[in-house]
């Protein structure tokens, strides 16, 4: 339940920030946000990360929807467990849904964060959620995901209990 509440808060934050940028900043305009680090720049992104698949909105809608559904199904089947697995899944789904809402409703994704200390793509909160979620997912799979065929070990299997016959 806590993951659902956190996901809703993150999703609302993503949508509110995007709305404020669309209504408060002219398209293409940059406003200093954190000096020498980050500007707010309103960009309409019709592609994916780094503008890949630009102008292929329906393909991106389909891919995003599939990813969100697959992660949701895997989460429901308890493939992702523990705080790390569930947090990773929640962030990927939340980011995917945030950008999916933009694509379905607007036909583009609202991006706004532009780094000023390096040349990097303009991005949004949903992109941050996806990126952090994928990194956590890799950590989870590499270090914490149980081995396939790993059987549940009974810690008392080798204990001699009173009345046991050998």
Q: How many CB atoms sit inside 10 A of residue 144's CB?
A: 12
Condensed to tens digits (0 to 9), the pLDDT of residues 105-116 reads 999 999 999 999
Q: Which residues are catalytic?
A: 111, 127
In which band, very low, low, confident or very high, does the pLDDT at 18 lie, cut at 50, 70 and 90? Answer: very high
Measured CA to CA, the distance from residue 2 to residue 75 in angstroms comes to: 14
Angle, in degrees to the nearest 10, between helices 82-106 and 2-24: 30
Average pLDDT over residues 34-52: 84
Predicted local distance difference test score (pLDDT) of residue 60: 86
Whether the pLDDT of residue 148 is over 70: the answer is no
* Contact (Cβ atoms closer than 8 angstroms) between residue 111 and residue 122: yes
Report which of 82, 93, 72 is spatially closest to residue 8, judged by C-alpha positions: 93
Average pLDDT over residues 133-141: 96
pTM here is 0.81
Average pLDDT, whole number, for the chain?
87
* Contact (Cβ atoms closer than 8 angstroms) between residue 117 and residue 162: no
Q: Within the chain, what is the greatest distance between any pair of CA atoms? A: 82
* Contact (Cβ atoms closer than 8 angstroms) between residue 139 and residue 84: yes
Predicted local distance difference test score (pLDDT) of residue 160: 54
Condensed to tens digits (0 to 9), the pLDDT of residues 47-103 reads 776 556 666 678 888 999 999 999 999 999 999 999 999 999 999 999 999 999 999
């Amino acid at each position: 339940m806590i993951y659902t509440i956190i996901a809703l808060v993150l999703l609302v934050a993503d949508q509110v920030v995007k709305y404020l940028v669309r209504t408060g900043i002219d398209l293409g305009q940059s406003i200093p946000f954190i000096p020498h680090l980050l500007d707010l720049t309103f960009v309409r992104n019709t592609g994916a990360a780094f503008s890949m698949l630009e102008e292929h909105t329906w393909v991106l809608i389909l891919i995003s929807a599939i990813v969100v559904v697959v992660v949701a199904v895997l989460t429901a089947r308890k493939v992702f467990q523990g705080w790390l697995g569930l947090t990773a899944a929640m962030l990927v789904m939340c980011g995917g849904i945030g950008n999916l809402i933009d694509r379905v409703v607007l036909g583009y994704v609202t991006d706004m964060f532009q780094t000023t200390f390096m040349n990097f793509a303009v991005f949004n909160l949903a992109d941050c959620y996806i990126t952090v979620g994928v990194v956590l997912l890799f950590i989870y799979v590499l270090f914490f995901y149980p081995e396939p065929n790993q059987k549940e070990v009974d810690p008392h299997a080798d204990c001699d209990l009173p009345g046991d016959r050998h």
